[in-house]
């Protein structure tokens, strides 16, 4: 039985573990923590083929600079002298152009649809992940938001996704319990959502049943290389050998990529969320979605619970949470849903935060490298790790077994920044 070691127990690592174990590989997953919390838990759970626009857009770079001066804004870069931050920033600015946005629409749609197919036809049948396919709303409140949304709809329709622009009345009819202060929305009927917490727990149970070894408190600190291959990896207490290795260490993948001499620009983009019981009519929101001008997400993640989340804070991993950002999320929620008025003091002890792995263009890194023959990388999924998680695991299996991949992965190449 071929042996594989996966570094990282988030959705990308565990999804890879599941596909590999089912295909007969002997799988070990190492995680520096205890598999009970990482970015794959407190997120909004969107499974969204509709996210066909790469993160690096000309608009986000321009807006990002303005937002940096506001402590409640949805985007922030902690100023610091760091070679990897500067390298990432340079890649991001250079990638944020119209040509890339157009070029990446089809690959993002295709991997999104593949992932959704896997969640609907495989995962949902084997695990309780509370997957629901009822669409997603992207709500705007300004004329500018409406204009931008109309052009997004046109792109999505050209990509043959089931999407439409709806007006204020149609939006309100979809959300009968909650007053919505907006001009309208994009209704992404093609999207679904799930409960990330249930997903991760169910996946771990499934992996135990499949005989996958999961080792916690096992931070990979060193990689021993010989003749174009990884020979072994080391934690503080042990060394591990295997036929193949998968790097899926989320926002920390850049540290290990350096040891592998790979040029993978990557930073951690911290986001926050808060999960509340639906204990009032106004909180009984029926669909998941995004508030365009508020730049935050809402998601009825499980029966009886609603989650609000957002912000992108490019900051060191050891900086404590900045609660002003959470205030910004709550303020945006109140502006769009005026009956929902939550103060930070009420929910401060329930705030969750996690680091998204943000690549140099916001597109994932999935593939092989010409440097190390027995390595697959699966990271850099940014705001799409859950959405693309199922497809990522399947692609890792296909790559390791030398099969034709189910979708074209050229756009996710590890060598695009060389
Ligand atoms: C507020 C918010 C909302 C979001 N909403 C959505 C959404 O609706 N839909 C969506 O698709 N995505 C969403 N995301 C993004 C999504 O959560 C991430 O893309 C995804 O969780 C990343 O998964 P991962 O497996 O790459 O990383 P992680 O889940 O962070 O897992 C990486 C793991 O690697 C381990 N690790 C790191 N270094 C080492 C090492 N050296 N040795 C061993 N282990 C190591 C870590 O401990 C961690 O457990 C959201 C994120 C945030 C913050």
Average pLDDT (183-209) is: 98
| Pairing mode, strands 192-193 and 3-7 | unpaired
pLDDT at 69: 63
Q: Is 259 in the pocket of ligand 1 (CB under 6 A)?
A: no
- Mutation probe of ligand 1 site: the residue of 356, 359, 376, 396 with most atoms within 8 A of C-beta: 356
Q: Whose CA is nearest to atom 2 of ligand 1?
A: 43
The CA distance from 103 to 92, in Å, is 16
Say yes or no to pLDDT of 184 above 90. yes
The CA distance from 177 to 282, in Å, is 6
In this prediction, what percent of the chain has a pLDDT beyond 70?
Answer: 99
Expressed in angstroms and rounded, the spacing between residue 10 Cα and the centre of ligand 1 is: 5
Say yes or no to pLDDT of 72 above 80. no
Per-residue pLDDT band at 232 (split at 50, 70, 90): very high
Expressed in angstroms and rounded, the spacing between residue 109 Cα and the centre of ligand 1 is: 21
- Mutation probe of ligand 1 site: the residue of 6, 8, 270 with most atoms within 8 A of C-beta: 8
Give the other-Cβ count within 10 Å of 36's Cβ. 12
Q: Is 329 in the pocket of ligand 1 (CB under 6 A)?
A: no
Q: Is 46 in the pocket of ligand 1 (CB under 6 A)?
A: yes
Per-residue pLDDT band at 77 (split at 50, 70, 90): confident
Helix/strand/coil percentages in the chain, nearest 5: 35, 25, 40
Report which of 67, 46, 90, 36 is spatially closest to residue 307, judged by C-alpha positions.
46
| pLDDT tens-place string over residues 102-120 | 999 999 999 999 999 999 9
| Pairing mode, strands 75-77 and 305-314 | parallel
Expressed in angstroms and rounded, the spacing between residue 43 Cα and the centre of ligand 1 is: 9
Rg from Cα positions in the chain: 21
Contact 65, 72 (CB under 8 A): no
The CA distance from 129 to 126, in Å, is 9
pLDDT at 173: 98
C-alpha angle 112-117-122 in degrees, rounded to nearest 5: 135
| Pairing mode, strands 192-193 and 46-47 | antiparallel
| pLDDT tens-place string over residues 8-67 | 999 999 999 999 999 999 999 999 999 999 999 999 999 999 998 888 887 777 777 677
Per-residue pLDDT band at 79 (split at 50, 70, 90): confident
Q: Is 56 in the pocket of ligand 1 (CB under 6 A)?
A: no
Q: Is 379 in the pocket of ligand 1 (CB under 6 A)?
A: yes
Cβ within 8 Å of residue 320, ≥6 positions away: none
Q: Which residues of 198-232 are buried (b: 16+ CB within 10 A; e: fewer)?
A: bbbbbbbebbeeeebebeeebbbeebeeeeeebeb
Per-residue pLDDT band at 187 (split at 50, 70, 90): very high
Ligand 1 atom closest to residue 45's alpha carbon, by position in its atom list: 8
Q: Is 271 in the pocket of ligand 1 (CB under 6 A)?
A: yes
For residue 60, what are the CA distances in angstroms to 111, 312, 378?
23, 11, 25
Average pLDDT (323-328) is: 92
pLDDT at 137: 98
The CA distance from 408 to 393, in Å, is 15
Ramachandran angles phi, psi of 355, nearest 5°: -105, 115
Average pLDDT (304-323) is: 92
pLDDT at 155: 92
- Mutation probe of ligand 1 site: the residue of 43, 113, 353 with most atoms within 8 A of C-beta: 43
Expressed in angstroms and rounded, the spacing between residue 334 Cα and the centre of ligand 1 is: 28
Contact 246, 396 (CB under 8 A): yes
Transcribe 229-257 into DSSP letters: EEEEEE-SS-EEE-SEEEE--GGGHHHHH
Per-residue pLDDT band at 76 (split at 50, 70, 90): confident
Range from 129-133, 143-147, 176-180, 299-303 carrying the lowest mean pLDDT: 299-303
Q: Is 64 in the pocket of ligand 1 (CB under 6 A)?
A: no
Ligand 1 atom closest to residue 379's alpha carbon, by position in its atom list: 26
Cβ within 8 Å of residue 294, ≥6 positions away: 74, 310, 329, 331, 332, 333, 335, 336
The CA distance from 93 to 384, in Å, is 20
Mean pLDDT of the chain: 95
Q: Is 33 in the pocket of ligand 1 (CB under 6 A)?
A: yes
Q: Is 356 in the pocket of ligand 1 (CB under 6 A)?
A: yes
pLDDT at 63: 74
Contact 250, 355 (CB under 8 A): yes
pLDDT at 80: 79
Transcribe 128-195 into DSSP letters: ----B---EEEEE-SHHHHHHHHHHHHHHHHTT--EEEEEHHHHHHH-TTS---SSEEEEETT-EE--
Q: Is 108 in the pocket of ligand 1 (CB under 6 A)?
A: no
Ramachandran angles phi, psi of 277, nearest 5°: -70, 145
Ligand 1 atom closest to residue 354's alpha carbon, by position in its atom list: 53
pLDDT at 266: 96
Report which of 415, 13, 414, 402 is spatially closest to residue 207, judged by C-alpha positions.
13
The CA distance from 71 to 74, in Å, is 9
Query: Where in the chain are the domains?
Result: 3-412
Q: Which CATH superfamily is domain 3-412 in?
A: FAD/NAD(P)-binding domain (3.50.50.60)
Expressed in angstroms and rounded, the spacing between residue 13 Cα and the centre of ligand 1 is: 10
Say yes or no to pLDDT of 78 above 90. no
| pLDDT tens-place string over residues 276-312 | 999 999 999 999 999 999 999 999 998 899 999 999 9
Transcribe 1-50 into DSSP letters: --EEEEE--SHHHHHHHHHHHHTT-EEEEE-SS-SS-STTTSS--EE-TT
Contact 323, 334 (CB under 8 A): no
Say yes or no to pLDDT of 82 above 70. yes
Q: Is 354 in the pocket of ligand 1 (CB under 6 A)?
A: yes
The SS3 assignment for 334 reads: helix
User: 409: phi > 0 → left, psi -120 to 50 → alpha, else beta; which?
Assistant: alpha
Q: Is 381 in the pocket of ligand 1 (CB under 6 A)?
A: yes
Q: Is 252 in the pocket of ligand 1 (CB under 6 A)?
A: yes
Q: Is 383 in the pocket of ligand 1 (CB under 6 A)?
A: yes
């Amino acid at each position: 039985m071929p042996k594989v070691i996966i570094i990282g127990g988030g959705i990308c690592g565990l999804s890879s573990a599941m596909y590999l174990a089912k295909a007969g590989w002997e799988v070990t997953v190492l995680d520096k923590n205890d598999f009970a919390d990482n970015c794959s838990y407190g997120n909004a759970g969107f499974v969204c083929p509709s996210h066909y626009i790469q993160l690096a857009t000309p608009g986000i770079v321009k807006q990002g600079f303005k937002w940096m001066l506001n402590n409640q804004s949805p985007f922030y870069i902690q100023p610091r002298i760091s070679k990897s931050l500067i390298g990432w920033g340079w890649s991001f600015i250079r990638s944020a152009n119209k040509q890339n946005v157009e070029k990446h629409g089809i690959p993002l749609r295709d991997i999104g649809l593949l992932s959704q197919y896997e969640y609907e036809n495989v995962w949902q049948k084997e695990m309780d992940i509370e997957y629901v396919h009822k669409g997603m709303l992207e709500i705007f409140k300004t004329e500018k938001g409406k204009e931008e949304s109309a052009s997004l709809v046109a792109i999505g329709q050209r990509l043959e996704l089931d999407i439409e622009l709806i007006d204020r009345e149609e939006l309100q009819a979809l959300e009968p319990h909650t007053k919505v202060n907006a001009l309208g929305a994009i209704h992404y009927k093609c999207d679904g959502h799930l409960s990330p917490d249930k997903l991760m727990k169910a996946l771990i149970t499934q992996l135990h049943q499949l005989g996958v070894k999961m080792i916690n408190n096992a931070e990979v600190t060193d990689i021993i290389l010989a003749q174009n291959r990884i020979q072994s990896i080391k934690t503080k207490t042990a060394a591990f050998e295997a036929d193949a290795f998968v790097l899926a260490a989320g926002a920390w993948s850049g540290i290990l990529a350096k040891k592998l001499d790979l040029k993978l620009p990557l930073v951690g983009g911290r986001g926050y969320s808060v999960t509340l019981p639906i204990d009032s009519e106004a909180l009984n929101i029926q669909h998941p979605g995004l508030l365009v001008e508020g730049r935050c997400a809402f998601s009825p993640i499980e029966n009886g619970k609603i989650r609000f989340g957002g912000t992108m804070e490019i900051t060191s991993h050891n900086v404590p949470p900045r609660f002003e950002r959470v205030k910004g999320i709550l303020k945006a929620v109140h502006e769009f849903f005026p009956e929902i008025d939550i103060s930070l003091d009420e929910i401060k002890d329930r705030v969750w935060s996690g680091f998204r792995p943000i690549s140099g263009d916001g597109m994932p890194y999935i593939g092989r490298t010409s440097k190390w023959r027995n390595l697959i990388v699966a990271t850099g999924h940014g705001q799409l790790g859950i959405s693309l998680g199922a497809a990522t695991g399947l692609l890792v299996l296909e790559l390791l077994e030398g099969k034709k991949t189910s979708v074209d992965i050229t756009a996710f190449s590890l060598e695009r920044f060389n």
